Amino acid sequence: MRTKSKEIKDAIKSYIEQVASSGGNCPSYSDISDVVGTSKSNVCRYIAEMESDGELVKTDYGFVTNKMGRAASDTQTVPILGSIPCGLLEEETEYVEGYYNLPTSFIGSGEHFLLRASGDSMVNAGIDDGDLVLIRRQEEADDGDIIVALADNLSTLKRIYRDDKRKCVILHPENDYMDDIIVKDCYIQGVAVKIIKDIKRNV
């Protein structure tokens, strides 16, 4: 049993490290369960024991192993600038809700901020209501990028596409039941690069 227990713990740590090194979001208990080959409830018990033993630490951006913690000693403080509607354009309200300390290796280069997603228009892109979306501040974006768009002092989080023929910008929701938003132009405040989920919702 001890050997099996150690094997499962090592497999859990290895998978979390693998996902982190590929730049993905922290895996859910269900994700870990599928990869490790044990039940979700069993994964919960193992992770609780590993937290108690100091093999895993829960941070603002997910679980960190000892190996990841050493690699992520260089951190940046990223502000949470309120919420961003994942639906129709809404009045922009930017204020500092709080701060997260995130590893530089997780963030990458550039200036970043976090927005809390509001609504369900981007669910097909994996962005659910309440998720924190890491935004790299920039004024340019490629077609297909998920951006923070500002048009007529109203903002939203959508994929951007440009229609040169109609001379307009298409703000596309990732929800099969929602229509595109068509605007003449928009100001790009940043591009989404990561999604940070509350792992407790996946228990």
Active site residue 83: no
Q: Which of 9, 13, 158, 194 is catalytic?
A: 158
Active site residue 118: no
Instruction: Please state the three-class secondary structure of the chain as a single string.
Output: CHHHHHHHHHHHHHHHHHHHHCCCCCCCHHHHHHHHCCCHHHHHHHHHHHHHHCCEEEECCEEEEHHHHHHCCCEEEEEEEEEEECCCCEECCCCCCEEEEEEHHHHCCCCEEEEEEECCCCHHHCCCCCCEEEEECCCCCCCCCEEEEEECCEEEEEEEEEECCCCEEEEECCCCCCCCEEECCCEEEEEEEEEECCHHHHC
Q: Which of 121, 155, 194, 197 is catalytic?
A: 121
Positions marked catalytic: 121, 158
